[in-house]
Amino acid sequence: MMRLLSSLLLPFLLAACSQETDRQLRDCGDCPELVLLEGGSFMRGAESGDPAADESEQPHHEVNIERPFAIAAHHVTVKDFDAFTAATGHETGPGCYAFTDDGWRMDENANWRAPGFLQTPLDPVVCVSWHDATAYAAWMSARTGKTYRLPSEAEWEFAARGGFKEGNFWGDDGTQVCTFANVNDITAKNKTAKAAENCTDGFLYTSPAGHFRPNPFGIHDAIGNAWVWLADCWHGDYRTSPRDGSAHLADNCERRVLRGGSWTDTPGPVRIGARESRPSHGRYSIAGFRLSRDAD
């Protein structure tokens, strides 16, 4: 009964939360649409004994975002990144880890313009490294006079949760995943993966940014479509991570955190808490980025 009641009330709760918390802003005509968040607290990490989680999600703890920040409502798109490379001459370098006729492997011919599948200009740019993403953020900072950057892992999760302190913001109904996210669905089963979420989102690869319903904060593709590079260094678990929303950094940081999932992932339930790490110089057809910036 409680689960049925929750599913009936969820659309109203999402709408009410969105109306109360969204504060959209844009620094220039072609700058990203940002959502200003005042901060707050949430529970990060998995409860001990959670069969879907691994050691990297331990321990379960509270994080309190102490400062307001703005985060992009959408991933950086192919069109956005094309404008950046045209303006700066930035080159990403050759090669991308992509899905090929021989399965997942490094494809020296793949790049952000040709990640191994067709994209529209409004799809999230993929096959970009952490260094490419931070170069883009620096370009945006120079253009606007604002401090653009990659979100910290805590900021990303706070924004992705959309005001829900635990669990996924769409509730316990797994069929609702495809209303909000481009994930490893029935469309992809036995094509790019051998298991799938029990729903259909209509896309085998990436989808245009903003195609799916946003979370209660107005963040589109909070889950799915493309993993996003974050500012944090990879530390393997949360034991020494900051509790104030700042990025977890280190000297000689070679691996960075990715969050959010993508159009194809390992089998299992889609969870906001899932974490990955990759070398900061790596490029992957499942990974892109979104920007954040300091609040004024």
Model confidence at 21, pLDDT cuts 50, 70, 90, reads very low
Predicted structure pTM score: 0.90
**What pLDDT is recorded for position 10?**
45
End-to-end CA distance of the chain: 45
Mean pLDDT of the region 223-241: 96
* CATH number for 165: 3.90.1580.10
How far apart CA 221 and CA 154 sit, in angstroms, is 17
The string of pLDDT tens digits covering residues 76-130 is: 999 999 999 999 999 998 899 999 988 899 999 999 999 999 999 999 999 999 9
Model confidence at 18, pLDDT cuts 50, 70, 90, reads very low
Count Cβ neighbours within 10 Å for each residue of 82-117 and write b for 16 or more, e otherwise. eebbeeeeeebeeebbbbeeeeeeebeebbbeebbb
- For residue 74, the enclosing domain spans 2-294
* pLDDT > 60? residue 273: yes
Asked if residues 276 and 259 have their Cβ atoms less than 8 Å apart, the reply is yes
What is the count of structural domains for the chain? Answer: 1
Model confidence at 164, pLDDT cuts 50, 70, 90, reads confident
> What's the chain's length in residues?
296
